[in-house]
Every structure is written in C-alpha cells, then in structure tokens.
Amino acid sequence: MKPLGKEESVRVCETEMAGTELALEEKAQELQQLSKQYSNIKLLQLDVVCENSIKKVVKEVEEIVGDKGLNCLINNAGINVLASLEEVTAETMLTIYETNTVAQLMVTKAFLPLLRKAAQLSTGMGCHRAAIINMSSLAASMQLVQANEMFLKVYPYRIAKTALNMITRCLAADLKSDGILCISLHPGWLQTDMGGNMAPMQVQEAIPGILSVLDRLGEKENGSFLDWQGETLPW
C-alpha cells in the first residue's frame, strides 16, 4: 500500500475532525453538564494527532486566556490496546506511539507561546506560573517491570509512556530557564474506559489527591515522575 502524502493526510484529518464535531454533543455529556453549571469551564474540541485541530484549539484558548497566557497544560489524552509479545504489530506500536507520545510533544510545542506568556507574569515554579503535566503511568516504569506482570500484555502502551517520560525530562531541562515546570503523573489505576471495572479506585477518589499534587508542585518537583499521592515513582 502506498503511504499517504502530506496533503492526503491533512484531508483525512479534516474529514475525521468533521466526524468528531458531530459527535461532541453526544460524547462529552458530563463535561457539557459541568460547563452549563460553571461558566469558567470552556469546552473546546481537540484531536491531538491532527495538526490542524491543534492549531485551531491553540487559537481558541488564546482568545479565552488573552494576555494572561496559559498556566497549566495537562496532556491527558491516551489510548491503549491489549498487545502481548505474541500480538503486538508494527502498526499498533506506531498508532499508540503517535497518540500517547508524539501528540503530547506536538501539543506542548503548539502551546509554548501561551505557557511562556503566563510564565513571564509570575515567579517561582508551579501551576500558579506555568506547568506541563504529562499523564503517564506506572506501566512506564522500567525499574518496576518485574513487579507488574499484567503490563506485559500492553507492550505498545507502556513503551509509549516510557518515551513520554523522556519527553518530560527533556522539557523540564529545556524550559526551566523560561520558568515552565514539567512532570509525569501517574493518576492511579482508575475505573475509566481505559482502567476498566477491575480498577480499585473511582476517578472521584483520586481527584483530590491529583489536585493537591498539582497545587504543591515547585522547582524541586520539576522533571519528576509522581503518582496521584505525590509519591515519587522510579523511572
């Protein structure tokens, strides 16, 4: 099969965006409910693997935040598929890598001007100034590979998240002089579409912990790998 050229990929991307726009009303119902309740919650649509969609959302965010810039970017989007050593294919590896790793770097790059704008208006380090939070996973830890055998069934996911952790380390070093902090965060094993019903925690149980970790971030935590309770995880 002939690979898609740049123009064709953009067209595919635009068609996909049109599809997701139709689906927004159906998909994000809980968020829509919240945004009706709280006027400071703005819902914007983003496909993280689509360059045009990233550009569009950056403009929309810029219109909302204005001269204040953006204080906190949470790279939360992620996908997973079951793929053991026997099942894994090059295609699955690349798809998961694109969404869980490449997209986080591209989204971050696109938001840098807004993060820098916010950073210029404050001092110290943390979410009060400018921060990038990469949603990682315990499954990414190279030191804990033996301890978590169930992750042997998700080769592409854990490898992509390990690479995401390297993005965190690079950004933390690169953006320190701009006053922009970057960490990797493991949110806990949670009952979501991805986490499944077997997960020991509901999202609501982890959120206070996650918010408290974000609130306490400072220079000391720049470039770290933390869990939802603020514990440092081994790389």
Ligand X SMILES: NC(=O)c1ccc[n+]([C@@H]2O[C@H](COP(=O)([O-])OP(=O)(O)OC[C@H]3O[C@@H](n4cnc5c(N)ncnc54)[C@H](OP(=O)(O)O)[C@@H]3O)[C@@H](O)[C@H]2O)c1
Query: Counting contacts by CB under 6 A, is residue 227 touching ligand X?
Result: no
Q: Between residues 173 and 194, which has the closer beta carbon with respect to ligand X?
A: 194
Query: Counting contacts by CB under 6 A, is residue 42 touching ligand X?
Result: no
The answer to whether 158 touches 136, Cβ cutoff 8 Å, is no
Place of tokens 């440092």: 232
Residue 116 CA to residue 119 CA, distance in Å, equals: 5
For residue 221, what are the CA distances in angstroms to 21, 41, 170?
37, 28, 14
CA-CA-CA-CA torsion sign (82, 192, 158, 21)? positive
Question: What's the closest the beta carbon of residue 140 comes to ligand X, in angstroms?
Answer: 9
Q: Which stretch binds ligand X (CB under 6 A): 11-19, 65-73, 75-83, 105-113?
A: 75-83
The answer to whether 65 touches 120, Cβ cutoff 8 Å, is no
**Quick one: 8 exposed, middle or buried, by C-beta within 10 A (0-12, 13-18, 19+)?**
exposed
Using CB under 6 A as the binding criterion, the count of chain residues that bind ligand X stands at 21
Residues 158-187 that bind ligand X (CB under 6 A): 186-187
The pattern of x and - marking residues 182 through 221 that bind ligand X according to CB under 6 A reads: ----xx-xx-xxxx---x----------------------
Residue 164 CA to residue 76 CA, distance in Å, equals: 12
Q: Between residues 41 and 121, which has the closer beta carbon with respect to ligand X?
A: 41
Question: What's the closest the beta carbon of residue 36 comes to ligand X, in angstroms?
Answer: 19
Query: Counting contacts by CB under 6 A, is residue 230 touching ligand X?
Result: no
Query: Counting contacts by CB under 6 A, is residue 102 touching ligand X?
Result: no
Residue 182 CA to residue 169 CA, distance in Å, equals: 8
The pattern of x and - marking residues 117 through 136 that bind ligand X according to CB under 6 A reads: ------------------x-
What residues make contact with ligand X under the rule CB under 6 A?
A: 27, 46-49, 76-79, 99, 135, 137, 186-187, 189-190, 192-195, 199
